[in-house]
Amino acid sequence: MTEKLWYKLAKNILKGGGPPIPINEPLIELLKTLINEEQMEFLLCFNKPLNFEELKSKTNLSEEQLHIKLNELMDIGMITGIPSRNSGLIVYRLVGYLPGLLEFTLMKGEKGSKEIKIAKLWEQIFNDAKEMTQKNYEVFMNAYKQAPPIDRVIPIETQIVPNEEEVIPYEDVTKIVDKFEIIGVSHCYCRHRKSLLEDPCKINAPLKNCLSFGRSAKFAIDHNFATQITKNQALKILKEAEKLGLVHKGFHIKGNPELEEMAICNCCKCCCGNFQGFYSGTSPTHTYTSYIARINLEHCIGCGTCVEVCPIEASSLSNEIAKINETKCLGCGICAQQCPENAIQLIHTGLRKVFIPAPKIIAS
């Protein structure tokens, strides 16, 4: 009976958002590593977001006991407690799979035996997800395509071609950072996971450079998932990421790019869970963007720099001239920034979706 309850909790977490993964032994073992049976049973109360009074009515706990329980689970990252924008009341939610459980398990940057175990369990979960996708390739690619993207690529702002006739709110990172009074920085869970698996970042990108904003940042700071920093410190982190050729990925409230940003990740091709999921054949790349890279044929000398640095391999050389596959271009601006001849520009397209199916791996 208890195993069915663990399965039910896993199912509830997966309903909260993210790509499809199997509910199997590694996922259940991950949950058992994070929480005990009593905490698991308490989390089954969360069939929807709840405030404190609603939780009191659903449990037999005193106010003090309930506060202790909630804080324990928020410190672990199994639930979030964030004030409602309208009422100011704290609303408690069971985390979804992504964003949520995946990040919180390794955001604190801890390196003990428990964290190594968690990293290995995630590796098993991802490998099982890859097998599931490849066995049901057409079904899964179609399901992914019908689902909304979970992030938005934010371009390197110095590469944006200005257009005085068009005002684009919050399309550059400086304006995004400037909106928020509370900013947190956390460990990149993707990079940290790879490091724990003894497969560290190939470009030695910083481990601590994921940013959170506003109410999300306050939660992360209060529960030791993030350290509070200034706007200038945040901009310095973003500029360093750009020099390294990392992709800015923004996460918005309810996944809606029209709403406020919750976080910005700075992603490398070798560690990012999304890029790794794509190249391994586990999941597609599916994101929002508002830009596309274009080649100036007169200036291009065919050096191949753009081919080397493109995180999604949208650039190639044809007759010694660079060519960009516009259906794959994320509009991140890395190729434009690193082109030695300044032969690439970012052009504003308006908000669009980029969907690139994961490769279908043919068994030998």
pLDDT in tens, 110-163: 999 999 999 999 999 999 999 999 999 999 999 999 989 989 999 987 666 555
Question: What is the reported pLDDT for 160?
Answer: 63
With CA atoms as reference, report the closest residue to 30 among 67, 77, 71, 82.
77
* Amino acid of residue 64: E
Cα 333 from Cα 345, distance rounded (Å)? 8
In this prediction, residues 329-355 reach a mean pLDDT of: 94
Give the pLDDT band (50/70/90) at residue 17: confident
Q: Which domains does the chain have, with CATH numbers?
A: 2-105 (1.10.10.10), 138-356 (3.30.70.20)
Average pLDDT over residues 7-19: 91
Q: Is the pTM of this model over 0.75?
A: yes
Give the pLDDT band of residue 364 (cuts 50, 70, 90).
Answer: very low
What is the spatial order of strands in the sheet that 285-295 belongs to? 227-229, 183-187, 208-213, 261-267, 247-252, 152-154, 285-295, 344-356
Which parts of 171-254 fold into alpha helices (H)?
Answer: 173-178, 189-196, 214-222, 231-243
Mean pLDDT confidence for 174-200:
96
Residue 212's alpha-carbon distances to 115, 133, 225, in angstroms, are 22, 31, 10
pLDDT in tens, 85-114: 888 899 999 999 988 999 999 999 999 999
Pairwise CA distance, residues 323 & 312, whole Å:
14
